[in-house]
Structure 1
Amino acid sequence: MTRGMAWARAGLVLGIVLALDQISKHAIASSVSPGDSRPVLPGIELVHVTNHGVAFGVLAGHTAVSVVVGAALAGLVAYFAWQANRPLLWLPTGLLVGGAVGNVIDRVRDGAVTDFIKVPLWPAFNLADAAITVGVLALLYVLEEGARGARRPARE
């Protein structure tokens, strides 16, 4: 796959993540009052929570710092993905950057992020957070596969 094709795929994933994230947050803000919850499935609730920090409330009250950190991390992920030559790196790149940009948009626009998915024993989160988490797991897989391939002896 060419670098251009990989970046096009990363951009498509980024766009899908960003669109779903922003649409879902708008839908929650329009239909669930802050602090309310609605059961969806056993163990899963829709809630409307405003998070002024980043993961688990870290940096709460420091919106500008959160925006700069989020934008910088998204930029670093994109830069390192551009430098690497790994066939599947487009997927974690799109997930990570799409999730980070979705949350940065919220912080710039609202000064906080809307979280709305609640499962037992875990803080509320949103689709951007889920994309970032899946992106990290996918990145670890891609990097491990690349390292494993580098350790394999060449076929003769």
Structure 2
Amino acid sequence: MPIYFLAIGIILLDQISKFLIENSMELGDSLPVIEGIFHITYILNPGAAFGILENQRLFFILIATIMILMTGYIYPLIPQKSKMLRLGVGMLFGGAVGNLIDRIRTGLVVDFFDFKIWPIFNIADIFIVVGVGMIIITMFYADCKMKGEKNE
């Protein structure tokens, strides 16, 4: 699946979910899905994960833009057979664009998945984390494979 279709799907899913939250809940509202375990809680995040680097809008826009440009540059260089790496890069790209749209639009990111024991997050965050995880796993696997071939 080309990165662009995957990224567009992620961006649409992310932005539609945020639109629905913004237009159906008041800021700070929390709807229990599983009481005390999982809630839909509408917040606006001025920082990054865990609330770090609050109110650094320009910094986040710059970092996200660099990451998106690098991803767009690197993707065509990834061999077709490296499906997991291509998928991870596509997920990272889509998630980064989803959160970048929020930062450009308002300077804040809409978050709403609330597991009570973890900071509140959104769909773009999920794809960023999973995409980075897939990239790391692929790189680790490739490194182990190369070391194994050298030992043979």
Q: Does the aligned pair in 2 maintain the 1:96–1:132 contact within 8 Å?
A: yes
Supply the distance in 1 between the matched residues of 2:149 and 2:68 (Cα, whole angstroms): 35
Greater shift in the superposed pair: 38-47 or 13-22: 38-47
Aligned counterparts of 1:11 and 1:72: Cα–Cα separation in 2: 17
Q: Which moved more, 1:143-152 or 1:91-100?
A: 143-152
Q: What does the per-residue CA deviation read over 1:45-76, in whole Å, with 9 as the maximum and x for residues that have no partner?
A: 10100001122222211211111111112222
Q: For the Cα contact (< 8 Å) 1:48–1:115, is it kept in 2?
A: yes
Q: Within 5 A, what are the aligned runs for 1:95-110?
A: 95-110=91-106
> CA offsets per residue over residues 63-111 of structure 1, 9 Å max, x none?
1111111111222233334434361221011110110110010000111
- Structure 2 runs not aligned, ≥5 long: none
CA distance in 1, matches of 2:26, 2:60: 25
- Structure 2 equivalent of residue 49 of structure 1: 43
SS of corresponding position for 1:53? coil
Unaligned runs of 5+ in 1: 1-7
Tell me how far 1:31 sits from its aligned partner.
Answer: 1.0
User: 1:135 aligns to what?
Assistant: 131
Kindly, what percent of the aligned residue pairs are identical?
Answer: 33
Structure 1 vs Structure 2 CA RMSD? 1.9
Distance in structure 2 (CA, Å) of the matches to 1:105 and 1:23:
12
Give 1:152 deviation, angstroms.
4.2
- What is the count of residue pairs matched by the alignment? 147
- For 2:89 and 2:51, locate their aligned partners in 1 and report how far apart those are by CA, in whole Å: 24
TM-score, normalised on structure 1? 0.85
